[in-house]
Structure formats: structure tokens, C-alpha cells
Structure 1
Amino acid sequence: MKKIVILLGILIGYMATIGMIFTNIVMFMKKKTDDEILERETREGRLTLDEIQSIQKEDITIQSKFGYPIKGWFVKGTEKNRFIIISHGVTQNKLNSIKYMKLFLERDWNVLLYDHRRHGETGGKTTSYGHYEKFDLESVVTWVKKKYGENSTIGIHGESMGAVTTLLYAGMIEDGADFYIVDCPFSDFEAQLKYLLKVDYKIPAPLVLPFANIFLKLRDGYSIKDVSPVSVIQNIKNPVLFIHSAKDDYILPEMTMELYKMKEGPKQMLIAERGKHAYSFADNKEAYEKVIDDFFANYVRD
């Protein structure tokens, strides 16, 4: 009996340790600073400090349903009521979205860049990889429609976690926007975590995920299975442009291919030849711009 109690104590201790370590990594992943993002973007030639300083932007604050302010910039590019909302990836903030902002301003769109919860200037204590973020995106879309009219044309561009957020939002809200551009999303959080545990940590997922999931539910109110774009992709009827780098070894391009296959109705896909994770635009600029122009010509009303 004593041995059983000891073994049970060891098991409980293991579960608690794994659960706490894992959920700390997930919920509080280290973010990049403004200086780190700007240094990278300027060093790699996607923008200059003069461009950043010359942006004619309106600071906006939108209330999250979770009680914190969502901070962003509105940049006017046209008198037309057409808007692109840009949703950045995990550890980044709206400064990372400037390169995409420039792309859409050149194509005669108004652009709204915003910070996800717990990133940049936006409030919120945890990162949830799209679960809670999708509701903040809903608030951003609602803000645009209230301010500029229900008949506004709205597109959403998301990168990495921002792409996951975009798909989860679209699948939840039954096409609250007119179209979506999703760059390097994962198709399913559980599958992504299993892959990272295998590649980065060499740990079998069954030794971690069951316990981690319990602690995630207890600490942040959702489960790993709740973050699954592939489970809602068939709800999305409006056009989706899927983009991924063929050489992405962080989120595999097969995940985007799976989402593309499952998506019903209008869709396009670009598997870019070059680039690591989230570098499809940086390393394939001409192809990236061309597929967006083709997508607009095929599916977006002027």
C-alpha cells in the first residue's frame, strides 16, 4: 500500500510539473520587443525608419469583450469603403504588419493593424493561439462596420497565429468578412504541438499533452482541441487565399494543403518556393503580390 501511495504521489507530481511547465510556455511565450522587430524588418530591407516615422496613422482603441483595450492603427489609403484588417503572428505585434500594410495601401485599400491580446499595446494576460483572439478579431470587424458602414468591403490578412485566428473567426462568425488571406496557419493545434514535441524536444506527445491539456483547461479555460481551424474550415463560404512556404519546417505546408482541400467554395493557394516560416512574402515578393492580385481579380468586388 505504501508503494502505491508513493507511486501515486510521483505520478501526481509528474502531471503537475509537466502541466505547469507546458502551460507556462503556451500561455506566456516570450514576445519580441519593438526594437527587435524593427531591427529585423529594417535590416532585411522591408521598411526604413523614415517610412515608419512618416506613416499617417490614426491610433484606435477597441474594447475587447474580455475587458481590456485592443490597440491598433488605422491607415487611410482610399476614399472607398474597403478595408484590410491585418492579424499578426505570435510573439510579434503590429510593427510586423507594416510590410503587409504597404502592400495593401499600394492596391488602394484602407488598412487596420492591431495588436493581439498580450502583445504590443493590447491588454490581456495570456496567449491562446486563436481561441480568445478570434473574439477580439470579431470586435475589430464590428468596429469597422459600425464606423464605416455595414456595406463596407472587409478582408482579413493573417500570418501564422494571426492566420489561425482569422480562420477560427471566419468559421465561428459565418463569414463576417468578405474574404480572407491566411499565410502559414496550422490546421490543428494538437497536431502542431505533437510535431513540435517530436522535432524540438524529442518527447512522445502522450507523455505531455494529456496532462498539459488538463492544466490548460484549468488555468486558461479552453482545451487544445478548441484550437482547430480544420474543424471549422467547411463553415467558411467566402473566398480564402491560402499561402505557405514550401520549406517551412515550423508549421509544415501540408497543414495549409489540408485546409485548402477541406475548404468548400471559392479558394486559391500559393505554395511559395522559398522562405522559412512566415517568410513567404519576404522571399517570394513577386509571386506573393501576383497571387493576391489574381485573387482580388477573381473574387473581390471593387
Structure 2
Amino acid sequence: MIYSMIMVPVFLLLAVSGITRFAFRQITQMKLQTHDRIFNYLETTGVYSREQFNNLKKQEVKVTSKDGLTLSGYTLEPHPGEKQWMVIVHGYTVSLHVSAQYIEMFEREGFNILLIDQRRHGNSQGIYTTYGFMEKFDVETWVSWILEHYGEECVIGLHGQSLGGGTVLEYLAIADPHVKFVIADCPYSDLSRLMYHQVRVLNKIPAFPLLGLVNKRMERMAGFRMEQVSPLKAVENSKMPVLFVHGTKDNYVPTYMSEELFERKPEPKQLLLVEGAVHANAYGVNPQRYAEEVHTLILNALEKEEAPAGSPQLCNPSQTAATVATATATAT
């Protein structure tokens, strides 16, 4: 009897400890997808192919993060000498290869491209994913690299998908004035609430006490806590033009998160809800509408930047950056 009374709490303690370690690894160190798997997905959805990527004229570049990691990326210069640059930031467990689907869209807008591997992903170093807590400073490093190598006249835009969307929104709190607009595709609005959703709703696991234990382990091992990552707080004082994109069938990062980000952010802003799209496939479902909204964002952001003080705006009032668009799903 005494033995049983001792062993039961020991067993429970070990079980809780094991679940906590597993959850922590899933959140910060989930197994990364191979290049083959990424391209298989892109080819299945019809948005991009490995042949297209292999045929790109690209240059590998590396920078050093503020905390000493080597970060890797590729530059593409379809418009040599032009001063417009797009930095495209991928999501969790993938790499810059998944960002290649957006290259042609931004080429058409006159931008040169920087594809980056986020820390711990692709060819970049790192142990933990921190959901924008440290990654926003990595974006800052890449922006500085562009300005150093291509000149202080550069105009820069950011595009981020999923984890990348959270990263570019977190960056708004420290944004360089050369960055003129942001596109956040299926971003999370608050990390604590996202983890609650994924643990409680998706996995049917009690959030208490698991998330509290994971949070303590996260602080001890990875150097941050969930409540320190909240794109909602980052957008509420930002006047930078932002396009929020989300699929209406996204259950991994719920659609309402982009809606509340849109509501919280001051103008200028746009919201594109792509009907029928699940997580991270809004562009694959309706690339035409996606590109139209991106074009409107860029047009308004750059015309506003170039217009002299007091001069009338050139954009159509019906296309202001505060419009909310809902796209109908189309096959691609």
C-alpha cells in the first residue's frame, strides 16, 4: 500500500514532465521538412516547381544575427539597379523554398527579392524557434544588409507567411523607416492564445497545467515566454500599411486572428479573406485576387511615400488601404 502511494505520484510526475518536454519540442523544435517534401507540396498545389527554383538566377548570402547565428538567404535581381526590395519570410518547419511561390508576383511589381531562411530553418543556424521574439531582430539584420549593399535609397517591403507573418508583424515595433509596407499571410495575433487553441482545441489536451509548465521551460531553455510575443500589441501603434491575408477554413491559425489584428491596427490597412483556403494556401486558392490586393497595397504605400506634402493622392478612393476584401475560391 505504501509503495503504491509513493509510486502513483512519481508516475504522474514523470508523465507530466514527459508531456511537457514533448510539447516544448513541438512548439520550438519540431522536425523540419525536407526540400523534397516542400517542393512536392508546391507542385501538388500548382503554385511552384523545383525546376523553376533550380533555374532561378540567385546568389546565396549570409549575415550574422545579433546573437551570433549565421543566417542564410538568396538574392534575386530581376531588376538590376532598381532600389525596390521584397524580403519574403517563410513559416514554421519549412524553408525559403516555400517562399519562392511569391517571386513572380513581386517581380511584376518591380521588386528585387531576398528569400531568407529563418533561424533554425533551412541553412540558417539556431536551436529554438521564438515566434518573432528573436526573429524580428533577424529581419532587422537583413534590412540593414540590403541598405548596406544596395544603398540608403532602397524601398523595402516585407512578406511573411504563418510564423513569418507573426515575425514581420513583431518587426513593426522596431521597423526601419526604409520598410514601407508589410503583408502578413495567416499570422497569429497572440502566441499564448495560439498555443491554447492548438493544445485545447486541436489536440483536445487540457491547457492547465501544461501550458504553464511549457512556458516555464521555454523561458529557461529558449529565453522567452509566450506572453512576450503578441503581434496585436505590435500593430496597435503602427501607421505602416499592412495587408492581412487569411483563409476562411484555417483551423491551425484561426481566421479570427487576422480579423482582430485588422481591427486593432490603425489605418492604412487591408484584409483579404480567401474563401475556402486552409492554412498557408490562400495564394494557391486564389492567386489573382491575392496579387490584386498586393498591388493595391504597394500602389497606395509607395504613392503616399512619394507624394509631396499637401498634394492630392493618386489612388482611387474605392481602393483605399482600409478596404476589406473577401475572395471566392477558384481552382488553380
Q: Report the TM-score, using the length of structure 2 for normalisation.
A: 0.85
Matched to 2:270, the amino acid is Q
- State the partner residue of 1:239: 241
Task: Specify the SS of the correspondent of 1:261.
Answer: helix
Please identify, of 119-128 and 291-300, the stretch whose mean Cα deviation from structure 2 is larger: 291-300
Matched to 2:151, the amino acid is G
Q: Distance in 1 between matches of 2:176 and 2:68?
A: 24
1:57-206 matched pairs, under 5 angstroms: 57-78=58-79, 79-173=81-175, 177-206=179-208
CA shift for structure 1 position 15: 5.0
Q: Deviations over 1:48-70 (max 9, x none)?
A: 34322220111111111121211
Kindly tell me: are residues 264 and 119 of structure 1, through their superposed partners in 2, closer, same or farther at Cα, counting changes over 3 Å?
Answer: same
Q: Distance in 2 between matches of 1:117 and 1:104?
A: 24
- State the partner residue of 1:226: 228
CA shift for structure 1 position 4: 10
Kindly tell me: are residues 177 and 4 of structure 1, through their superposed partners in 2, closer, same or farther at Cα, counting changes over 3 Å?
Answer: farther
Q: Distance in 2 between matches of 1:175 and 1:185?
A: 22
- State the partner residue of 1:40: 41
Question: Unpaired runs of 5+ in structure 1?
Answer: none
Aligned residues of 2:189 and 2:230 also touching (Cα < 8 A): yes
- State the partner residue of 2:327: none
Q: Distance in 2 between matches of 1:22 and 1:50?
A: 37
CA shift for structure 1 position 38: 1.2
- State the partner residue of 2:313: none
Q: Deviations over 1:104-160 (max 9, x none)?
A: 112211000010111111111111222221111111111111111222100000000
Question: Unpaired runs of 5+ in structure 2?
Answer: 307-332
Matched to 2:134, the amino acid is Y
Moved over 6 A (4+): 2-8
Q: Distance in 2 between matches of 1:49 and 1:12?
A: 47
Q: Distance in 1 between matches of 2:217 and 2:69?
A: 24
CA shift for structure 1 position 46: 1.7
Aligned residues of 2:46 and 2:284 also touching (Cα < 8 A): no
Kindly tell me: are residues 239 and 96 of structure 1, through their superposed partners in 2, closer, same or farther at Cα, counting changes over 3 Å?
Answer: same
Q: Distance in 1 between matches of 2:193 and 2:274?
A: 22
Identity %: 31
Aligned residues of 2:155 and 2:178 also touching (Cα < 8 A): no
1:273 correspondence with 2:275? yes
Q: Which has the larger radius of gyration?
A: 2
CA shift for structure 1 position 286: 1.2
